[in-house]
């Protein structure tokens, strides 16, 4: 299920990767009006114009992810300011109506898992990451929400996704 988490992985949400659960979005906040550019099921939580991270592109290959196969995630984006220690990632993962994860993590502690360190410099960044998706992902609908904020609670980015693994 690490893969799902990886979806969120734009440099921004990189920390989501560390969670060993599938990703999904919070259906109550899902807003298909603001899709994240690229081939994946991500949507911004709201109009991203004020987000510190401007995402240029996030691609998943294959899209959608296939259980038992390798998933490649490529993402790039531009940070409008340096991101310092103290930034947080709130991650919520639901499987159907069940909440699998609902927790806030220190972003800088999670980033080394995708080979990034804090502080994140202002400017352009790109990442590429391969993950193995377990063969036995329980079929069903997964929703993931990742909300990333600076230490003083300004939005770096917020994304959500719904992924269905068919039976
Ligand atoms: C971001 O990645 C996409 C897809 O690989 C590429 O087309 C685009 O030029 C990149 N953006 C920048 C600013 O480099």
Count Cβ atoms below 10 Å from residue 130 Cβ, excluding itself.
12
Of the pLDDT bands very low, low, confident and very high (cuts 50, 70, 90), residue 82 is: very high
Where along the chain do its domains lie? 2-165
Any idea how long the chain is? 167
The residue behind tokens 């984006």 is 77
| pLDDT at position 16 | 37
**Does any ligand 1 atom lie closer than 6 A to the CB of residue 10?**
no
Q: What is residue 1's three-state secondary structure?
A: coil
Q: What is the mean pLDDT of residues 73-100?
A: 96
Percentage, residues of the chain above pLDDT 70: 81
Q: With a threshold of 0.85, does the pTM exceed it?
A: no
Choose one of 11, 40, 56 to mutate for the ligand 1 pocket test, by most ligand atoms within 8 angstroms of C-beta: 56
Query: Is the predicted pLDDT of residue 6 greater than 50, yes or no?
Result: no
Higher pLDDT, 32 or 24: 32
Strand intervals (E) in the chain: 42-44, 53-61, 70-79, 88-95, 98-106, 123-132, 140-149, 155-165
Class of domain 2-165: mainly beta
Among the listed residues 146, 127, 142, the one whose alpha carbon sits nearest the alpha carbon of residue 59: 127
Q: What is the mean pLDDT of residues 144-152?
A: 97
**Does any ligand 1 atom lie closer than 6 A to the CB of residue 39?**
no
| pLDDT at position 41 | 93
Ligand 1 atom nearest to CA at 38: 4
Of the pLDDT bands very low, low, confident and very high (cuts 50, 70, 90), residue 12 is: very low
Query: Is the predicted pLDDT of residue 76 greater than 90, yes or no?
Result: yes
Of the pLDDT bands very low, low, confident and very high (cuts 50, 70, 90), residue 32 is: low
Gap between the Cα atoms of 31 and 43, Å rounded: 7
């Amino acid at each position: 299920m690490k893969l799902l988490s990886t979806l969120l992985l734009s440099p921004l949400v990189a920390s989501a990767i560390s969670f060993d659960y599938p990703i999904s979005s919070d259906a109550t906040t899902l807003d298909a009006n603001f899709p994240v550019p690229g081939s994946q099921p991500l949507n911004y939580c709201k109009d991203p114009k004020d987000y510190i991270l401007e995402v240029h592109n996030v691609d998943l290959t294959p899209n959608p992810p296939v259980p038992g196969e390798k998933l490649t995630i490529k993402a790039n984006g531009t940070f409008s300011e340096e991101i310092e220690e103290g930034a947080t990632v709130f991650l919520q993962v639901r499987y159907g109506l069940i909440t699998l994860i609902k927790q806030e993590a220190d972003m800088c502690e999670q980033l080394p898992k995708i080979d990034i360190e804090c502080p994140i410099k202002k400017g352009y960044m790109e990442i590429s990451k391969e993950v193995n998706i377990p063969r036995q992902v329980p079929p069903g609908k997964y929703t993931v929400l990742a909300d990333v904020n600076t230490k003083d609670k300004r939005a770096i980015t917020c994304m959500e996704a719904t992924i269905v693994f068919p039976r």
